[in-house]
Each structure stands twice: as C-alpha cells, then as structure tokens.
Structure 1
Amino acid sequence: MDNSFFIRDNQNGLRLKRFHICSWEFNNSCLIEFGMEVDAESIKNLNNLILDLYVPWATRNSKISDFYGKLNNSENSRFIFNDSVSNTIYLDDGQNLQGVIHEFSGRNKLCLLPIKFQNKPEIGKVSMEIDLTEYKKNQI
C-alpha cells in the first residue's frame, strides 16, 4: 500500500469529472502532479471545498506546490491544455489571486482556483482547501 494514494472529500457528494496523475523525472529530482476537474453541480452549495489526499510515500521533505500561479497565465494554460485560450475572466476584478476562468477555442470553459495545502507527512496526508467564494459570485 506504500505506492498507493487515496482522495477523500469532507463534504460527501463531490463528483470528479477527471482526475489525472503525471510523473516527471529529472536528473536529480522527480515531480508527481495530481490534477482534478470537479463537477460544478456537486459544489454549488459549498463555500469551500476540503479534500484529503493520502499519499503514504510523501515525506516531510516533499515540496507541495499549487500550479495556480502558473496556470492562471493564459499562455501557460494554452501550452498545458493544448488549446488556444480565447478569453480569460478574472474572478477578482483582474487581481488574478482568487481564480480565473479560461475560455478555450475547442472545449468548455475551465475555472482554475488556488489551493491552500497542509502537509501531514506523519500520517501520509495532504489536506487541501479551496475557497469557492469568488467562484460562486462569478458563476457563468
């Protein structure tokens, strides 16, 4: 079980549309990326989303990062999602801190939100909290 992972939501009823894991290996390090697309209907009554990701092989030295700071840039998202971004809507009047909605040429809109992490390596858990306040104000 040391090479497994589990995800749990504290709200019961969360529906994921997509979940992916991508691993990257470099000369002296490696990166494991977890990404998920949440069904909007399953969070419509929530103010925040709390998820626990159980990763028993993560250690106290594991660096945990949010890619929001990279993906909120339309050029980076164009590259990562392999589609042109035709428009970006900033959820916080252009400050670019609380979330963005990218409109792609060949697919549906995608909302990207920042995540707060709490690493608990002693129990193999990473807790994630996503503030949905600005998202709910700007639902399109």
Structure 2
Amino acid sequence: MSQPKTLALVAHDGMKEALIEWARPRVEQLSQHTLYATGTTGGRLISELGLDVTPLKSGPHGGDAQLGAMIAEDRLDALVFFIDPLSALPHDVDVKSLLRLAILYDTGLAVNPTTADALLTHMDTPV
C-alpha cells in the first residue's frame, strides 16, 4: 500500500445502508487511511464496523461545508459520497457546492460502489 490518505465517507439517508455494506468487506483497507464522515454516517461506521472515524456535523448542519473547507485547504485526498439520485434534498445547494469543490480542486470523488472501488484501489496503489 502507498502512504495513508485522508478519505471522507458520506451518504444520503437513502444510501447509508449501501455505504455501510460497501465498507463492510473493506474495513481493513479503509482502516489504513485517516477517515472522516458526516453525522449519522460516521456514527454507523464507528458503531457497526469499528472504524476509527473523525465525525463531523451532519451534512445539512454544516458537515458538507466542513468537508468543502478541507478540500479547499488541501486536507482531503478523496471523497466517497453515496448520493441518493431519487430524493429531493433540502440542502441540495450544499451538496452541489461540495461536489463543485471536489471537481475544482481535483479531489478523488466517488458517488457509488463502482467508483468507490476504483478510488480505493487508486489510493492504495503506490505512485
């Protein structure tokens, strides 16, 4: 494995279970990195999978903004954000801002299990 990276794990309410199930067989791999997560997602990763995660505020209460600041300050290497494409979100502006910052600062970004696998593989490949 290459040097540990800083990774954020986020999931909309309708996608939290999918993120937990994606992470479950990857606990050992994920634990090699510095992990952050928003609100309930972070709590579940800690309680259900035993991962060492730094919890942030929930997305609508500032967690998305916290992650955006980390990206802008070059303190986050990658973001896994399982987005629920079928639900309207009251904090959609925050989500779009976070995604825009990830794109602007060329931060690794995954939005579903397939891209999350590719991102994690890339993070663990020595350069």
Higher strand share: 1
- Which structure would you say has the larger RCO, counting Cα contacts within 8 Å and 6 or more residues apart? 2
- With normalisation by structure 1, the TM-score equals 0.28
* Greater helix share, structure number: 2
- State the TM-score, normalized to the length of structure 2: 0.29
Q: Which has the larger radius of gyration?
A: 1
